[in-house]
Amino acid sequence: MTPPRSDPDTGKRDVILDAALELFAERGFHGTAVPLVAERAKVGAGTIYRYFESKEHLVNALYRREKQRMTAALADGFPFDQPPREQFHVLFERAIAFMKGNAISVRFLELHHHAAYLDAESRALEEHGNALVEAAFRASIAQLAMRDLPPALLVAIVWGVFDGLLRAWSEGRLELSPAVVAQAEQCCWEAIRR
Amino acid sequence: MTPPRSDPDTGKRDVILDAALELFAERGFHGTAVPLVAERAKVGAGTIYRYFESKEHLVNALYRREKQRMTAALADGFPFDQPPREQFHVLFERAIAFMKGNAISVRFLELHHHAAYLDAESRALEEHGNALVEAAFRASIAQLAMRDLPPALLVAIVWGVFDGLLRAWSEGRLELSPAVVAQAEQCCWEAIRR
Amino acid sequence: MTPPRSDPDTGKRDVILDAALELFAERGFHGTAVPLVAERAKVGAGTIYRYFESKEHLVNALYRREKQRMTAALADGFPFDQPPREQFHVLFERAIAFMKGNAISVRFLELHHHAAYLDAESRALEEHGNALVEAAFRASIAQLAMRDLPPALLVAIVWGVFDGLLRAWSEGRLELSPAVVAQAEQCCWEAIRR
Amino acid sequence: MTPPRSDPDTGKRDVILDAALELFAERGFHGTAVPLVAERAKVGAGTIYRYFESKEHLVNALYRREKQRMTAALADGFPFDQPPREQFHVLFERAIAFMKGNAISVRFLELHHHAAYLDAESRALEEHGNALVEAAFRASIAQLAMRDLPPALLVAIVWGVFDGLLRAWSEGRLELSPAVVAQAEQCCWEAIRR
DNA sequence: AATGAATGAGCTTTCATTCAT
DNA sequence: CATGAATGAAAGCTCATTCAT
């Protein structure tokens, strides 16, 4: 029942990913030297190559981990049975909460979105998130709660607003107090509701 | 009447900037080697350094050129005397038109937003664009045409939507037909109008 | 008794300095490419930058090493309590011995004397050597053994003669047999003695 | 009788050599970029290549010009018929005068002495100067005015002292007042006289 | 004849990756 | 297993030289 082994380095892979996350989010993939990741992870440079075949494999592993964490944070236990407005409220709150607790992850995902060095699997994951939200939106449209517009358009609008909020917040141009978040949610809802 | 000059002095400086634009937008700053820019510009590698002190000076010059082009496209002759809804319409149309005609520029600006190698002047330009829009929005709020919310929030929402549209469009998830654009505009207006 | 180690860790740093010494003495600082130093040291080009921040740091480290070696060879255990003529004899012998055993070092020091890329610490070391000899000469003047002339003049004369001998010898115009050395010493002494 | 032609650019070659002299003396051959020489000479970069086949030809031409100027300054109209002490006095005065009026030339000659890029003709000129002085010294030895030592040794001593004086003077460690020059001359004479 | 913009080989330096310890 | 010193290919940049004007 307990982890079968000593465990001291069970986390070494994650320690490396954590270090890479901070640095890639800050300086980009090409702007980050592998030895720097090693130093930040307090690990020998060679060690990284025990866990990842190459620097590209490292970003891809990281991209997947973060994308999945974010998708899980938004989708796990999502109340599909609630009315559309309530579903939207939950989605919005979760997104804001994830953003505030994982600013670096979000910055990383945004910066590496559609990068040339992401492989097929990572790209597939990109689709996946969108598809989930699109499905939910499609249901809301069917229930006549959202405008009858291309779901891709509605998704683009909502993601776009999140992105705008993230940037304004992380650049210090906007404070995300509960009041502002509530207002932002209402604005966003007005944009897409029927 | 003069010899059909192949392209005598279109300004080699601009040829270099054009090549850099494509490559930086595609592969990022650190992912683009200077000799690659030279090759794309059909210019010797050393020539770039006759026009730009360093690779960093090159991105900054490019960033300013593109930011100014975009700001001009949105702001030149802007109808500040029209009613807010009309002003918003003009802004939206201009933004979409610029986006469609200059997808690479917009992708470049987005990717290099707030990068560590942008200098003070480039950053000042970043502020400038936002400030212009914020001022217009503030006026619309005063006229009771937009919700009385922090202007930074309204700006974030509108920029965010543009960004979402750009991405969905450039990744082929959304077609920007006149009808879709009109719908998107109406959505966006609903988000911020009073 | 231990394995006849080929040269395990003679200090790669010193191996690099040795290679740089030969090349800088022969071709000058700007005339010597770093990969050439690497090749001569049988080391990868990048390795040099693990031991020295830059090519300039490399020359400076080398300059200090050689200047200190030479200063030590002349000054360590110098018989300040002996009569001036004897002190001069010791100085002369030591200088000639160092020159014959370290022609490349002396050539290097001479060639890089007062070069623009020497830093403050290296320049301070230049002063130091002169100051030592000047002090000794001042004492000899006080003992009425040397002419009462500006010490800087006496030092210039003696160093100059050494330099002349070095050049004539290393260009093959003059053999430094014991007899010639003895004669040179006597000539030099005649120049400065009271 | 007058120069046959317009003459405006009769001097262009010399203007280039003058510029090169300053720069090579200050920064060395490899440390000086040809376009810099052009700029200093107020001449187009290409112009230099009308007058000199290559950078190496340029240094060699310069080396010869300066070596010849110096040899002429010392040897032209030399009073071979005067007694040795007087000859030495003239030589010494001339050398000091040349040094003071042509510090840069002397620094250049010293720095480029025996450099790898000097060609056979330049090297031959190096010999020539020495040979002249050696001949004079040989005569003085024959007249029993100088010690019966290898002429090369005597020459090395005298050149060395000049060099020492030049350095001490140009580094500001020694002032070359008439009194000091007279003292230096006497010292030097004592070194070699019988 | 003179120019100086243009070039590309080569320089200094960095960094993804390997491998002896 | 983990390390980090070592590597060399490739990056950013400079400069001797050429050539269209």
Q: What does the alpha-carbon distance between residue A17 and residue A13 come to, in Å, rounded to a whole number? A: 6
Residues C184 and C148 in one domain: yes
Residues C85 and C180 in one domain: yes
- Nucleic acid strand E within 7 Å of D39 CB: no
Overall average pLDDT of the D33-44 stretch? 96
C-beta of residue D3 within 8 angstroms of C-beta of residue D10: yes
Q: What is residue B10's predicted lDDT score, i.e. its pLDDT?
A: 67
Residues C79 and C161 in one domain: yes
What type of residue is B99? M
Residues B43 and B26 in one domain: yes
* Residue D184 belongs to domain with CATH number: 1.10.357.10
Q: What is residue C10's predicted lDDT score, i.e. its pLDDT?
A: 66
The yes-or-no verdict on residue C3 having pLDDT over 50 is no
At A5, the pLDDT band (50, 70, 90 cuts) reads very low
Residues B21 and B72 in one domain: no
Look at residues C12, C31, C52 and tell me which one is the last residue of a structural domain: C52
C-beta of residue B147 within 8 angstroms of C-beta of residue B193: yes
Residues A41 and A68 in one domain: no
- Nucleic acid strand F within 7 Å of A147 CB: no
Q: What is residue B1's predicted lDDT score, i.e. its pLDDT?
A: 32
Write out pLDDT tens, residues A174-184. Answer: 999 999 999 99
Q: Which nucleotide is nearest to D9 (CA to C1')?
A: E1
- A-B CB pairs within 8 A amount to 133
Q: Which nucleotide is nearest to C44 (CA to C1')?
A: F7
- Nucleic acid strand E within 7 Å of C49 CB: yes
Write out pLDDT tens, residues D140-165. Answer: 999 999 999 999 999 999 999 999 99
CA/C1' separation A16–F3 (Å): 15
Residues C24 and C48 in one domain: yes
Residues D29 and D86 in one domain: no
The yes-or-no verdict on residue C6 having pLDDT over 60 is no
The whole-angstrom distance between B13's CA and the closest CA on chain A is 26
Helices (H), B52-150: 55-75, 84-101, 103-112, 120-142
Task: Match 């982890």 to its residue by tokens.
Answer: A3
Q: What does the alpha-carbon distance between residue A138 and residue D21 come to, in Å, rounded to a whole number? A: 81
Mutate to test the interface with D, among C24, C117, C153 (most CBs of D within 10 A): C153
Residues A40 and A66 in one domain: no
Q: What does the alpha-carbon distance between residue B194 and residue B28 come to, in Å, rounded to a whole number? A: 40
Q: What is residue B82's predicted lDDT score, i.e. its pLDDT?
A: 95
Domain extent, residue D169, equals 57-192
The yes-or-no verdict on residue C4 having pLDDT over 80 is no
* Residue A20 belongs to domain with CATH number: 1.10.10.60
- Nucleic acid strand E within 7 Å of C46 CB: yes
**Residue with the larger pLDDT of the pair A3 and A169:** A169
The yes-or-no verdict on residue A142 having pLDDT over 60 is yes
| Positive or negative torsion for Cα B113, B119, B124, B125 | negative
Residues A42 and A125 in one domain: no
Write out pLDDT tens, residues C86-139. Answer: 999 999 999 999 999 999 999 999 999 999 999 999 999 988 888 999 999 999
Write out pLDDT tens, residues B11-69. Answer: 899 999 999 999 999 999 999 999 999 999 999 999 999 999 999 999 999 999 999 99
Residues C37 and C95 in one domain: no
Mean pLDDT of chain D: 93
Residues of D contacting chain C (CB within 8 angstroms): 26-31, 111, 113-116, 130, 147, 149-150, 152-165, 167-168, 171, 173-174, 180, 183-184, 187-188, 190-192
% of chain C at pLDDT higher than 70: 95
Residues D78 and D171 in one domain: yes
User: Cβ–Cβ contacts within 10 Å for residue A97, how many?
Assistant: 13
Closest partner CB to C114 (pick from D150, D171, D191): D171
Write out pLDDT tens, residues A23-72. Answer: 999 999 999 999 999 999 999 999 999 999 999 999 999 999 999 999 99
Q: What is residue D9's predicted lDDT score, i.e. its pLDDT?
A: 53
Q: What does the alpha-carbon distance between residue D188 and residue D166 come to, in Å, rounded to a whole number? A: 14
The whole-angstrom distance between A164's CA and the closest CA on chain B is 4
The whole-angstrom distance between C168's CA and the closest CA on chain D is 6
At A2, the pLDDT band (50, 70, 90 cuts) reads very low
| Chain A residues closer than 8 Å to B168 by CB | 152-153, 155-156
B16, B17, B22, B26: CA torsion to nearest 10: 110
At D129, the pLDDT band (50, 70, 90 cuts) reads confident
The yes-or-no verdict on residue B8 having pLDDT over 70 is no
At A129, the pLDDT band (50, 70, 90 cuts) reads confident
